[in-house]
Chains A and B, each alone.
Chain A
Amino acid sequence: MKTSDIKEKQFLQTIKDYEGVLKRVCFMYSSPSAPFEDLYQEVLANLWNGIDSFRGEAKISTWIYRTAINTCVTWHRRNSRHHGGVPIDAMIETICDENDIETRQNLADIYMLISRLNPLEKAIIMMWLDQKSYEEISYVTGLTHRAVATRIHRIKIKLKDDAG
């Protein structure tokens, strides 16, 4: 088997192992101006291009988080946070089984809350909800541990106020 075939096979396996993480990140950053499919494709392309340079300096899941978030943030457009009238149901349909009502409702609720955060806050809270350590969140964001802790505290207050 050629080296490229081995790489392709290993890469596919990695993507399938962390598909949930990738889809959650891409969905939370998606919007009409940054559709889920485009973000997902772009994230996969950046993972493919970067995988040879990954030296195990962090867990693979954390590295995948970093690449996915960086990709989604650089797609960020001025109006992507203002969602009045955005067809969330249409967006959810692209990634979720129509019969899984609980997941669809939870996705819609979380999306509405998290969409009010800026891209950095989204990254922090998603990783915190996925129970990543402060060290891992620092690795992805580049903020100090203390700054991460302060931001998490503020984001929790913001989410509580926004949800009522």
Chain B
Amino acid sequence: MDINIIQQKWNTLNINDRERHSDDVDLIVDKLANNRLLTLQGKLSRRFLNSALVGVFGPISMILLNEDVQFSPLCFWLYMSFFVIMIPANIYMSRRARNLNLSLCTMVEAVESIIKFKRRITTMIVFGWIFMLPVLSILFLDLAQLFNESALWGAIIGGVLGLIIAVYRIVSTYRYIKEMKEMFED
């Protein structure tokens, strides 16, 4: 189709139908003014913050349990270290998500920011899994000694399922990054 015909069709587009959507716009703006609507970045930021807050219960529960159950020192300190590292990591990611302002950057910068952000999330997932596997292994070995073998098998199955999900997320993130980068190639 000739570009002039496309231009003509474009010029005749009239989708400024105020009657159709004006109530919706008023409602959305009212929610924004009252902080009752979050952007995608806002929701993502909150998700990381919630993970950090929930993570606080990890060390607390270990300290309380350890008074009765007596985990091995290796298990106790590895478990605590995991949360000491991952809680601030989630807070950091929450702030990065919140500070991404799409109105202040060009499209190139927006895409680069998203790519960097997704890479950071993937790094956090990979690091989290590499750290978590020995923590879980030792924890459930301790639990198997204290209780029975089914705890250990449960951990192995859970770990394998979690790994599959993590690998799938990593692969889909890199596919997304590849596609975004290809846009800017000559």
- A binding-site residues for B, Cβ under 8 Å: 4, 7-8, 11-12, 15-16, 19-20, 23-24, 27, 37, 41-42, 44-51, 53-54, 63, 66-67, 69-71, 73-78, 95-97, 100, 102-103, 106-107, 109-110, 113, 118-121, 123, 129-130, 139-143, 150, 156, 159-160, 163-164
Rounded to whole angstroms, the CA-CA distance of A94 and B40 in the bound complex is 22
Q: Which residue of B lies closest to A45 (CB)?
A: B39
Q: Mark B21-41, 1 if CB is under 8 A from A, else 0.
A: 110111011101100011110
Majority-rule SS of A interface residues: helix
B157 at interface, CB cutoff 8 A: no
Majority-rule SS of B interface residues: helix
Query: In the complex the two chains form, is A16's CB within 8 Å of B106's CB?
Result: no
Query: In the complex the two chains form, is A96's CB within 8 Å of B17's CB?
Result: yes
Given A103-B13, A123-B107, A141-B107, 14 more pairs with CB closer than 8 A: A12-B29, A16-B18, A23-B16, A23-B21, A24-B15, A41-B37, A46-B102, A66-B103, A66-B106, A73-B111, A100-B14, A120-B107, A143-B108, A160-B1
Rounded to whole angstroms, the CA-CA distance of A128 and B3 in the bound complex is 11
Most buried by B among A51, A70, A102: A70
Query: In the complex the two chains form, is B9's CB within 8 Å of A109's CB?
Result: yes
Residues of chain A lying within 8 A (CB to CB) of residue B16: 19-20, 23
Residues of chain A lying within 8 A (CB to CB) of residue B182: 118
- Residues of B in contact (CB 8 Å), total 51
From A73, A75, A102, A150, give the contact of B107 (CB < 8 A). Answer: A73
Q: Which residue of B lies closest to A139 (CB)?
A: B106
Residues of chain A lying within 8 A (CB to CB) of residue B184: 120
Query: In the complex the two chains form, is A78's CB within 8 Å of B179's CB?
Result: yes
Residues of chain A lying within 8 A (CB to CB) of residue B38: 45
Query: In the complex the two chains form, is B106's CB within 8 Å of A76's CB?
Result: no
If the complex has contacts A118-B182, A129-B6, A142-B106, are A106 and B12 also in contact, measured as CB distance less than 8 A? yes
B180 at interface, CB cutoff 8 A: yes
Rounded to whole angstroms, the CA-CA distance of A24 and B13 in the bound complex is 9
Q: How far is the CB of B168 from chain A (nearest CB, A)?
A: 13
